Structure 1
Amino acid sequence: MVLLAAAVCTKAGKAIVSRQFVEMTRTRIEGLLAAFPKLMNTGKQHTFVETDSVRYVYQPLEKLYMVLITTKNSNILEDLETLRLFSRVIPEYCRVLEESEISEHCFDLIFAFDEIVALGYRENVNLAQIRTFTEMDSHEEKVFRAVRETQEREAKAEMRRKAKELQQARRDAERSGKKGPAFGGFGSGGMTSISSGSIITESIVEPEKPKITPTPVRYTKSEIHTCSRCSSLFCSAAGLLSRQACLFGKPFLSPPFQTKWTK
């Protein structure tokens, strides 16, 4: 048996849900389903009709049809058995067999159809197995969700406890006549406001710089000379300045002579 497609359509041939198990364009599947109502003969009790290329195996679902499109050389008995399984799957996901309900659970139906047929061939599964496979139940996932929920509850409880502690500390501070610290929220850009209080500032006193008094320079008499031109005294250490001053006719007494002499 090669199953080409499984579809739920209206009596007018409008596709509601269609699952193709072989490569097939949307235009072709819509054309096959649109031609299906025209091939039905109300006077016959058969649940299949054939064309030159395909076979339609169908079952009425109140105002809808469950249709399987197969090749003409497929086993009709296997086709009918597969059709019954498809028809039993639909009520498992849809409470009422109406177009709106089918459209709402279309993905659940497609996943179930994939468990029944793979690459056009029937899988050896029953209704209970299909339900289990589509639920994808996982013990590890349940454990992970339980741990995450426990962590979320603990975080919320810790948050409430911290909030109560802050409120109690604020009330205690107000009772003692002191302003407690004000904690700002995240709405102000994440900045924490600090209550205004007395701020103690200390002026920075620079240390007084010590006054430096020049040490008097003492010269011996051996270092004192008399200028031969102007008869002024000069020191041999400052002799150059004294001689230059003497050349310009200005007697010069070097600063060292303002200090005390040593014998």
Structure 2
Amino acid sequence: MDTLRVFIRWLETVDGVEQDLHTKVRSPDLSGEEKSRDVMLDKERADRALEYLRKYKYASRQHVVLTLLWHTMMRVGALHALDVGDFNEEEQSIEVVHRPEKDTSIKNAERGERHIGLSDEVCTVLVDWITDRRPDTTDEHGRHPLISSELGRVHRTTLRRDCYRYTRPCVFTDECPHDRKISDCDAAEHDHPYECPSSVSPHAFRRGALTHALNSEVPEKVLSDRANLSESVLDEFYDNRSKQERMEKRRKYLNHI
């Protein structure tokens, strides 16, 4: 509704609608719980997915996609925007850059640009992908996308499908927690993984990774800079810790006062 109101306000400037029509567009008054989605990937499931890919599809596109989403906490738009040249092996970092003129804009535009430090393990996976597995193609702007296919830069839909596909429980076990027969399940097919109730989107990786980091006592300022979001947004929309867990974390800092 907020977006619609902005659009109608623009229509008013070109005389497309009657003046002040935007004032009649009311946004619902939602509580914090209603505004926050609680779907997230917990660390145990993330570890299982990454371990499976590490063992059976090492340095594949899917392995790189899930590894970067979990370890960097970046949005899928940022992942889609990365070029090979944005990865600095020597400094063990990756740079997120806003390039709207070349069809790879990122959320928050220039304010979303940042360098993200990478671990030894993540760097090794990226080097092996670039060296041995990455299709050496360019996009329509002559750029070398980090996540590429034989046709060029991989579409965001493909990145989402990778997440849905490798968070299905049937990938790791022959049993389905939803009492479905795997051989007859549409979600078990390559093109329909999102139909599995247990599969999750890229945003669930971001939410789960941030929650795990908070539980591991990583300072909120560090996470807000790394994931490109404010501390207030981090607290309201991404902190999935219970009230009891938050209390115990505070207790550790306040007991000596």
TM-score (norm 1): 0.19
Say which structure is richer in helix. Answer: 2
Say which structure is richer in strand. Answer: 1
